[in-house]
Structure formats: structure tokens, C-alpha cells
Amino acid sequence: MLSPLRHRVYRRLLAAQVIALAGTGLATVALGLLAYDLAGSDATAVLGTALAIKMAAYVCLAPLAGALADRVSRRALLVTMDLMRGAAALALPFVTQIWQIYLLILLLQAASALFTPTFQATLPDILPDERDYTGALSLSRIAYDLESLFSPALAAALLTLVTYDWLFTGTTLGFLASAALVVSVALPRPAAGPTRETGGFRGKASLGTRLFLTTARLRALLALNMAVAAAGAMVFVNTVVLVRDHFGRPDTAVALALGAYGTGSLVTATLLPRLLGSRGDRAVMLSAALGLPPLAAAVAVLTAASPQPWTWWGLLAAWTATGAATSAVLTPAGRVIRRSAADSHLPAVFAAQFSLSHACWLLTYPLAGWLGATAGFPATATVLAALALAAALTAAGLWPGPRPMRGAPARREVLLRENAP
């Protein structure tokens, strides 16, 4: 898993990602405190709207990253987006109206919607060896998980020394450091090829989505994204109320529950390179996706029972297993994309993956919240379990298994690529 760290360019890009993630984590905490200062008890509505803006920006703007791939250099695009995110974070402490928060969040998340898929599409070019690339995917997953585990603790420590306004300054410094690291390396240009023949900017912006909808393995990946979003929405939307109201436990227990999810994801990410090498992407990802519905159904049972120590520990176990299954589905997604698209199409397809996966979350987040508030947690978990099951079964039906390799050598070579697990 550590083999990609031998590559200087990748080491610097990974450092840029980690620093930017730490800054984003500080901003998440500071934004909640800022919303409370401006809106008081309506802060949850402000944060909910900010989350909707974030998801809408990801869904609508990410495809532009693919369209820009052969028009501007990757390094220039990444650096510009880092500077844009840093400027938006630096301006947040000075807002005095709720609408100003929404505007700055839109700018910040628009920049992220262009930055992240461009960053993801760069990794296959700088790490052509599949073992190195698989290790890089695991390291990226670990970076995300560590950010979710440790950024709140770092923010809490800093808040003992400074006011929350200074956390936004830390966010800005993180994005500036990320930009400096990107500037320090030379990034390859996207491969020339069919992307240049797709009929102008609009055609390039929609290319990745069209490839997703016409490629069986990518359609399966879209269904897998929905399965993950259905199970994950229960965790991210309802954990706070579940822990505080249903189980009657303190704020520290909320952190423990979310930490259980992150721990499951983190441990799985470290094991995936060896597991993928022995079993292949299809077997690992489909098995994990098919494990999500029973876990959501178990949560329905646990929340239907009266709160007991065993139901609390059962919830922690379910959250840990959900994190592990989610990581097993999401981490190899880059390998699936790499094997399903031409090199020249990778920027567009990574952008489409970023957009379409967040469209799934945009559907399941409000579904989990609305059902949790009106129908109760057992019904919510049951509906989400059914959605996850339908999506996982769809993925299993869409993802073709290995086909017999017969015919001329050229045909066998094509089949070898198609049969990559």
C-alpha cells in the first residue's frame, strides 16, 4: 500500500490533499459556530441549506472539470481552485448576513467540484502501475477517514487558544499550502484522443455522463454509489438524534458513533490492496454492497427495541461494519473507471463519477432526514435498506462477469481488458 510514496510527484500531491482536508475539517467546525452566532436556534436550517448548496454545486459543476481537461493545464486549474477556496474561507469570518454564508459556500464548493475530479484523474497518469495506483486509492481513503476522525479534535484543541474565526484562517493556510505543493511539481497533460472529438465544450461536459450510461461496468458503479448513499445517509443524517434522543447519551457518544464508522472505513482501506489483488474488484465491491442492506435492516431492529446497553453496542458494531462495507465499495471505484474508459476520457469520467455519486447523496440525505423526523428510525432504516438492496442487486445484474476468451489474439487482448475483475 505504501509503494506509491516512492514517487515524488505523488508524495507532494498526497501532502496537498491531506493539508487541504485538514483545513476543510476546521472550516466545518467553524461554520457551525458561525451559523449559530448568526441564526441561533435556526442554525440547523442554515447548515442544512449550506449542505444542499454543496451537493448541488458538486452535481452541476463537476462535469465542467472534464470539459476543461484539454483547455487548461491541470496544475493551473488545481492551483486556481485552491486559491479560490482559500479566498472564500478567508472571507467567512467577516459575514454579517445568512445569504453571505450561502454565497461563499457556493464559491468554495464550486472550486472543490472542479478540484477533486481533476485531482482524481491525475493519479492514473502519474502512477501507471496498477499496484501503485491501488495503494494510492487506499491512501486517499485513509486520508479522508483520518480527517473525519481527527479534525474535530484539532479544532477543539485550537478553540481553547483562539476564537473560531481563526479556524477559517487555518483553512485558508491549508489551501495555500496545498496550492504551493501543486505548483512544486510538473503534472502530465491528459492523453490526446477521442475527447477532442466530442463536439465542443457542451459535448465534453456531458461526455463522462454519456459514458457512464452506455458502459455496463460504469452503470453498475452508479448503482453501487446509490447503495452506499442509502446506507450512509442513515449514519450521517440521523446519528446525532439517534444518540442523543433515542439512546439518551451525551455529545461524546455522538463522536464515538461517528468514529466507529470512520474506524471501519479506515481499517478496510488498509486491507484492500491485498484483498483486491486476490479477489478482484467485482467480487469485493459487490459483496460489500450486498452487505449494506442487512446492516441497515439490523439498525431498524436495534432502534425498534427499547434502548439497552446491547442495542447501543449493536449500533456501534453496525456503524463500524457499514463504514467497512462503504470503504470496500468506494475505494476501488478509481480502478473500475480506469479499466472502463480510454485514457483520454478519464478526466470526463472521473468528473461524472464525482457528480453522479453526489446526486445519489442529494437524494438520500433529505430522504433520511424527512423519514427520520416523520416516520421514526425503524421505518427510515427499513426504507433505506430496501433502497440499498435494490441498488446492490441492480449493480450485480449490470456488472458483467468474465467471458470466455476465444478467437484471434487481438480479440483476446480486448477481452483481457474487459475481464479485468
Q: Number of structural domains, the chain?
A: 2
End residue of a domain, out of 190, 219, 238: 190
Helices in 341-376 by DSSP H: which ranges? 346-374
Q: What is the greatest pairwise CA distance in the chain?
A: 70
Co-location of 202 and 184 in the same domain? no
End residue of a domain, out of 190, 224, 242: 190
Co-location of 220 and 122 in the same domain? no
Co-location of 102 and 247 in the same domain? no
169 Cβ neighbours under 8 A, 6+ residues apart: 90, 93
Residue 416's pLDDT is 41
- Judge contact between 38 and 172, C-beta under 8 A: no
Co-location of 322 and 362 in the same domain? yes
Residue 203's pLDDT is 61
- Judge contact between 351 and 63, C-beta under 8 A: yes
Residue 328's pLDDT is 95
Per the listing, cell 453498475 goes with: 220
Q: Which grid coordinates belong to 177?
A: 499550502
End residue of a domain, out of 190, 207, 223: 190
CA distance 189 to 75: 9
Residue 72's pLDDT is 79
DSSP helix/strand/coil, 72 = coil
Q: Which grid coordinates belong to 264?
A: 471501519
* Residues of the chain scoring pLDDT < 50: 194-198, 405-421
Q: What pTM was computed for the model?
A: 0.80
Say which CATH number the domain at 269 has.
Answer: 1.20.1250.20
Residue 388's pLDDT is 97
Co-location of 317 and 418 in the same domain? yes
Residue 205's pLDDT is 61
Co-location of 208 and 119 in the same domain? no
Co-location of 139 and 211 in the same domain? no
Structural domain of residue 420, as residue ranges?
198-421
Co-location of 127 and 207 in the same domain? no
Run of H or E residues at 269 = helix 251-279
Residue 244's pLDDT is 81
118 Cβ neighbours under 8 A, 6+ residues apart: 65, 68, 69, 74, 77, 78, 81, 347, 350, 351
Co-location of 153 and 278 in the same domain? no
Phi, psi dihedrals of residue 201, rounded to the nearest 5°: -60, -45
